[in-house]
Amino acid sequence: MKPCRERGSSSDITEACRLMVTVDESFDRFRGRFERAVPPVDFARFEGLVREGVDWDEVRHATAENAPHSFMIYWRMDVSPLFRLAGGTRRCVEYLMGNHVIAERMYRHDPAALLYAPLRLAIYDSTPGGRPAGTSSKNGAGPLPARTDAAGGAAASAPRPTTSLTIDQPSSRFAGLGDPNITQVGLELDRKLAELLGYLDAPVPEEIAANVGSDGAPPE
């Protein structure tokens, strides 16, 4: 996969561009903040709206209430417990994150857009050495004994915990469908992803920051 910065304009993108941001924060803390900002979709509520046959404006209203930062979690999988059996020490959770009101604006032009909606992302422990400072390698939760030198003093300090989030740049996925209407929505998703990362105090990659115009909207 080519680095994002080597690509041309967004309209020329034909393969996915992977974005990654890293924060100086523990896995549990960042994951918790992310899941509060991006809550699970209220399936029961939307299933009720389907049964009632409400108009789409009511779906928009319910979606805005469910997604205060534009996105909801449709699916989540913590792969850490299973991979721990193979000796893995990194913690990782993958998600499907999206917004069905936004997805519908692409679906109406080409249902193939649902290949990439919701968006797939992963949050994982990227602490040097493969585990957060102060945790055990067995379960990622127990304290490690303090390391000391021969004189009984503290040994070299453990690395500071870091956590990474990785996701394909939305516009790079949707532009590959070749429909300018869908491409435009992909650029809007770039902007909304940038806004979410900003809310989380995470770095905003220049590839999506560049898609935010001075008025807060994707450039034409």
Asked whether residue 112 is domain-assigned, the answer is yes
Q: What is the pLDDT of residues 77-100, one digit of tens each?
A: 999 999 999 999 999 999 999 999
Q: Which residues contact 214 (CB under 8 A, 6 or more apart)?
A: none
Asked whether residue 202 is domain-assigned, the answer is yes
**pTM of the model as a whole:** 0.80
Confidence (pLDDT) at 159? 87
Asked whether residue 104 is domain-assigned, the answer is yes
Asked whether residue 118 is domain-assigned, the answer is yes
Confidence (pLDDT) at 129? 74
Tell which residue, 67, 64, 60, has the closest CA to residue 39: 67
- Amino acid of residue 168: D
Q: What is the CATH number of the domain that holds 198?
A: 3.30.310.70
Domain of residue 128 covers 4-40+69-133+159-209
Asked whether residue 143 is domain-assigned, the answer is no
> In angstroms, rounded to a whole number, what is the distance separating the alpha carbons of residues 66 and 71?
8
Asked whether residue 33 is domain-assigned, the answer is yes
> In angstroms, rounded to a whole number, what is the distance separating the alpha carbons of residues 180 and 218?
13
Tell which residue, 157, 154, 84, 156, has the closest CA to residue 125: 84
β-strand partners of 163: 23, 125
> In angstroms, rounded to a whole number, what is the distance separating the alpha carbons of residues 61 and 204?
28
Please return the burial class of 93, using the count of CB atoms within 10 Å of its CB with bins 0-12, 13-18 and 19+. Answer: middle
Q: What value does the CA radius of gyration of the chain take, rounded to a whole number of Å?
A: 20
Q: What is the pLDDT of residues 137-176, one digit of tens each?
A: 333 333 333 344 444 444 457 789 999 999 999 999 999 9
What is the arithmetic mean of pLDDT over 8-37?
83
β-strand partners of 53: none
Contact 194, 69 (CB under 8 A): no
Give the strand pairing for 18-23 and 163-168.
antiparallel
Asked whether residue 45 is domain-assigned, the answer is no
- Asked whether the predicted pLDDT for residue 54 surpasses 80, the reply is yes
Provide the domain count of the chain: 1
Give the strand pairing for 92-98 and 119-125.
antiparallel
> In angstroms, rounded to a whole number, what is the distance separating the alpha carbons of residues 100 and 63?
8
Asked whether residue 49 is domain-assigned, the answer is no
